[in-house]
Amino acid sequence: MIRSLLVMIFALAGLSAGLAEEEERSKDLVTALSSDMVSIQSNFTGTEIVIFGQASHIRDNAGDEDDFQLAIVVEGPPQDITTRRKGRFLGVWVNREAERFQNVPSFYAVASTADIGEIAHRNVLDEYSIGLNHINLAVSGVSNVALSDRDDFRRAFVRLREETGLYSERETSIEFLTDTMFRTKIPLPANIPVGDYTVKSYLFNQGELVSETQQILAVAKIGFEQVTFELAQNYPLVYGVLAVILAIFTGWLAGVIFKKD
């Protein structure tokens, strides 16, 4: 009985010590968003969010091998996206091979205090999907793309997303306001998809993750745009019928207005 009681006491003491250590580690990094909601209206042309926070002792060892490094990743809701490659067929350029990437971020942006490759080992960057070269781009089980060409499709996929502003990698873009307080800006283009975005911040020391935080950023349509979006998503048949009726009515009205005598 006494032995069991002693074991329980030591176990509780160890648990308390572990919780205290975890709580202390969580204090190493604190982050917040300038806004947790982005509203999309008909005149939306893009915006940007500001991520700011404090990282304890991040500059205490500036220039030392014990430097701390920060990486901030913003990811949009996952989507299935197909990348196609054109080829000549009977003298005409047509879509040929296609690769379908499953559950990939619809939006991806990363900001860091140093070059991505200098923050941590490649395996760590792969595990946390930090950097465009370390995103997990899973392909579908059915594919007509040769294994030797899959790297080309991956590079093309990332390049096309970068060109539309949906993917970006902004190394050394985190600005320090004081020795420990920082901020960075993440641009959001006009074509961002709606949904819940995750904002993950990572604090590394000598390549080892020592602290991380996560916030949710909501991107949503409001007003008439929200009504039409929800109608198209939830009731596509009704949306299609209404669109046809509106097109017919608009055409008839234009004919009446511009009718020549």
* Mean pLDDT, contiguous 10-residue spans, the chain (261 residues): 43 43 59 90 88 76 63 94 71 69 93 92 94 88 70 88 94 88 93 93 92 93 63 67 77 71 51
> Which CATH class, in words, describes the domain spanning 22-221?
mainly beta
Gap between the Cα atoms of 174 and 181, Å rounded: 10
What pLDDT shows up at residue 243? 75
3-state secondary structure of 1: coil
Pairing between β-strand 37-40 and β-strand 208-221 as defined by DSSP bridges: parallel
Gap between the Cα atoms of 211 and 172, Å rounded: 19
CB 104 within 8 A of CB 129: no
Supply the DSSP symbol for 79.
Answer: E
Token readout for 12 is: 């509780």
Radius of gyration of the chain (CA): 25
**Residue of 178, 30, 184 whose CA lies nearest to 111:** 184
Pairing between β-strand 68-75 and β-strand 47-55 as defined by DSSP bridges: unpaired
What pLDDT shows up at residue 68? 85
Gap between the Cα atoms of 131 and 109, Å rounded: 8
What pLDDT shows up at residue 63? 47
**All structural domains of the chain with their residue ranges:** 22-221, 223-252
* Alpha carbon 202 to its chain's center: 14
**Residue of 88, 145, 128, 97 whose CA lies nearest to 211:** 128
What pLDDT shows up at residue 218? 93
Q: Please tell me the chain's helix, strand, coil percentages from 3-state DSSP, rounded to the nearest 5.
A: 35, 40, 30
Token readout for 131 is: 């950097």
**pTM for this one?**
0.74
What pLDDT shows up at residue 91? 63
Query: Which alpha helices (DSSP H) does the chain contain, by range?
Result: 2-26, 116-119, 122-128, 150-163, 224-234, 236-257
Helices 224-234 and 236-257: angle between axes, nearest 10 degrees: 130
Query: What's the farthest any 2 CA atoms get from each other in the chain?
Result: 107
| Type of residue at 12 | L
